[in-house]
Structure 1
């Protein structure tokens, strides 16, 4: 049984969107979206499908989102402190 998260994924992404520098032009944000859609069974375009063919979607998504959150968190501390 998976433990329930205290915070929703929306709050997690709101934080990244707010504190990640150049969020709207970041390739890793786009790749996270592509991998997340693929992992959850949503359609992605054929070009993206071909690009990520053979990848471990979950493993790559965890790497990318960890990096995004870490950079957002570092930026948050720079701004606050």
Structure 2
């Protein structure tokens, strides 16, 4: 077999195995907190960053995030001109 094709098949197999394992492990936990939450949060964060870099930040998301900030952080944010 061509070495490039062999390398592609190996990488595809590894990615598919990791993805399938992740879904199988998380299916058992449902919405309960689990050990895999940091991995899930990292994946969601990367997804959000990628979408934001491609499409730009959404105004509604910025306003919603500003509402989540504690009052002291919100005041500092507004005073800094942001």
* TM-score (norm: length of structure 2): 0.31
* TM-score (norm: length of structure 1): 0.32
Higher normalized helix content (fraction of residues) = 2
Higher relative contact order (CA 8 A, sep 6+): 1
